[in-house]
Every structure is written in C-alpha cells, then in structure tokens.
Copies of this chain bind each other. A is one copy, B any other.
Amino acid sequence: MAYRALSEEEAKEYALGIPGLFEQGAQLTSREIGDGNLNLVFHLQDKKSDRSVIFKQALPYARVVGESWPLSLDRARIESEALQLQHEILPGLVPKVYHFDKELSLTIMEDLSDHIILRKGLIEAKTYPEFAKHIGHFIAHTTFYQSDFFLAPEVKKQKLAEFINPDLCKITEDLVFTDPYYNAEKNSFNPLIEEQVKELWVNQELKGQVAQLKYKFLTATEALIHGDLHTGSIFVTSASTKVIDPEFAYFGPIGFDIGAVFANFVLNFAAQEVRIKNVEQRNVYQQYLLESIHQIWDVFEQQFTLLSLSQATDPSLRNEAFVQQFIQQVKEDALGFAGCKVIRRVVGLAHVADLDTIVDDTERAYAEKLSLYVGQQLILHRQKWAKEQSISAPIRSSFQQWEEKQHDTATRFGSVG
C-alpha cells in the first residue's frame, strides 16, 4: 500500500487486518491522540476484551510549521528498529513493537495508557523513586550494547550506515546548537528576557564551547543513542519507566542522552522556583530533582564501567585506565549537552511545558533567566564540574549563585531608592 496518512477509521480497518493483533470479532474504537508535531498517534481499543494498542504513523512534514518542513519518513523505520533493539536489550523499559509497516511508516506498539508522561508528573511535583535507577540503567545498557565496546567493528559500521538519520539530526543541529546563539527566525522567547538572550548572541567564549559540543554531536559515533531523551519521551508510574519515541536515534555521543535527562530536571528545578510557593515544599522537591540527577549519573557510571570491564568484546578497550577516562569524558559531555538543551528550551523554537505553563510573564521570566544562567554555567564549567565528587553539587551552587545575585541586585537598587 502506498503511503497515505491514516484516518481514525482507516486505522481501525488496518488493525483488523493484522492477524492476532486483536481477538476475532473485536469491537474497536479508534482515537487520534497525538500532541506531537511530526506524527499521528492513534489509540485503538477493543471494547470486548479491553485490549488496546498504539499506532504511530510518521508524517512526511513537521506539523508545527505546516507542510513546508519536509521530513524523511525513513525515521519511522529508524524508530521501529531502535525500539526493537532496545527491547532486546531491556525488555521492561520500552514499549513492545507488534508490527511495522514500512510503506505506511507505521509502528503498532504496546499501549502505555496506565503510565503518565514524566514531564507532566514533574510539573505536578510528583516523585518517582525508581526512575533514576531505571533511566541510568537504560542509558548504560542501550549504549554499551550498541557501541564499539560490544559490537564487532564491522557490525558497528554496518549499523552506523543503517542509522544515518540526516533529517532528524538536522533538527537537533539547528534547534539545539545553532539557532539559540544568534537572532534566528525560528527562535521564540519571552520579551522580558531579551537582554539575557542578546547576551548569549555576543558571548564568543560560550559560542566557542557550544561549537565544540555541536562538533561532537556531528562527528562522535560512540553508540546508537536515543537522541531525544527529554521528559516528554518517558512514560512513568511509581514503579515503572518506559522510554518511547526514539525517532532521533543515530550513532552519536553517549553524553547526549544523559544530558537530555539532566536538562529537563534542571528546567523543572527552575520552573518549581516560581511554581511551588511554599519554601519548604519547594526545597524538598528541588532536592529530589538534584538527587535524581546524582543517582542517574551514579547508576550509569557504575553499570557502564562494570559492563566495559566485564563484557567489552574488544580486549584493548577492556582497560581500567581507559574506561575511567572515557566515563569522565562522557560526564563532561553530559553536563555540556545538558546546558545546550536547557538554553534551547528557553530561547529556541520548542519550549517545555514546565516553563511555558507559568502564567505570569514576570514569574516565567524569572525561571527562564535562572535556566539560562545555569545552562551557560553547565557549558562553560563542564570540565571542572565533571571532576568534582558530586555531579549535582555544582549545579546546586550555580542555582544558589544566581539567586544570590538577584538578591544583591535587589538590595543595591533598594539602597539607591
């Protein structure tokens, strides 16, 4: 069947044509529930058995800017293959894929409606005691088993070619690493932070550091990474974590996935600064966010080290000094990428609900300025911070520094007035 975007009705018909997907005589409902920009998402349910599945179909363009931004449908193949690889490595942490249709760029997968999107949970200041462990585990295992540490070199190179993902990488190259650092047409930011944004555009040192990180994103084929691991790509319950949407997957730097999670915890931290009015409650929740960052890194570091020293198939990489230096580099990268991802969510095209749903413009500007400050510190000091005992301590200090600066400024103006 040639490609066409499915309607709810067509999705239903398609589902009934796949043997074993639903029981015979199923009475299906079909609902398009996508809120993304690049895909249709249908929820299909059998009223009789209650069984439900998700249809995800790639659109040949990015919705956000109309049909004018064409996007390769090949990303649906990439997403479906990445999901299946991740499922082989970690069956519990990604949705199960039931069926893939290349022509329609359609993946049929497990319904996770009993989970909620992590971003939503964090905005509501919920805590997820298992999440940090799960995601550290997820990143360590999915990257290790899809890297030169484990794959035979010829297999790695073949996979590298199969997962070339130019359209989706270009989105990241532009929106994360390029546009926020000049007056790009696609940028979008709160007019109240214009001064801070313009400071970014003329900060040559910062731009030099961002260029280093962009260059790494362009050239470092360390592992098959998720490529878009923000808190909107993660489903959770208090006991379960499911990572979805790996359509940006490609062979890239391992620190990029870790940095994406860190960035979204930092953004939530900044948003909670004005969202939670009770100081004590706020402190407790922000402490939870920082501890999560700490634990994610700890779990990743321990597990990747253990995997490298025990299961690396290339004996020359199974060297303690090398593994230690490599993990240190990943840490530094993760902090830098986190900074870039924080800044793009404040200045660039695509924002996060954590900040955007703060109704009061001034309050939102406060949280945005705080994000921009910490984002820059992450980029500029990543090498130094990566050497400190605790990965979250310098982030906490950076938040405090900014708060103190605000306080100083207020006092100064106060004494003048």
Chain B residues lying within 8 Å of A314, measured Cβ to Cβ, are 178
Q: Which one of A53-61, A216-224, A238-246, A255-263 is at the interface? A: A216-224
How far does the alpha carbon of A385 sit from the alpha carbon of B178 in the complex, in Å? 33
Q: Which of A169, A178, A204, A321 has the most CB of B within 10 A?
A: A321
Q: How many copies does the complex hold?
A: 2
Q: How many residues of A contact B (CB 8 A)?
A: 44
- A297: Cβ under 8 A from any B Cβ: no
Contact in complex: A316, B177 (CB < 8 Å): yes
Known A-B contacts A166-B153, A166-B154; A317 and B221 likewise in contact (beta carbons under 8 Å): no
Known contacts A161-B164, A221-B221, A222-B219: A211-B153 contact under CB 8 Å: no
B211 touches A316 (CB 8 A): yes
Query: How far does the alpha carbon of A180 sit from the alpha carbon of B186 in the complex, in Å?
Result: 53
A65 to chain B, nearest CB (A): 18
Shortest C-beta distance, A187 to chain B (Å), equals: 14
**What is the minimal beta-carbon distance from A105 to any residue of chain B, in angstroms?**
19
- Chain B nearest CB from A305 CB (Å) reads 14
Expressed in whole angstroms, the minimum distance between the Cβ of A61 and any Cβ of chain B is 17
Q: Are A170 and B153 in contact (CB under 8 A)?
A: yes
Partner of A212, one of B161, B320, B322: B322
- How far in angstroms is the closest Cβ of chain B from A284? 40
Bound Cα distance A208, B326 (Å): 10
> Cβ of A219 and Cβ of B218 under 8 Å apart?
no
Closest to A223 in B: B219
> Which residues of A, 172-211, contact B by the 8 Å Cβ criterion?
173, 177-178, 181-182, 204-205, 207-211
Answer yes or no: A293 CB below 8 A from chain B CBs.
no
**Does A319 have its Cβ within 8 Å of any Cβ on chain B?**
yes
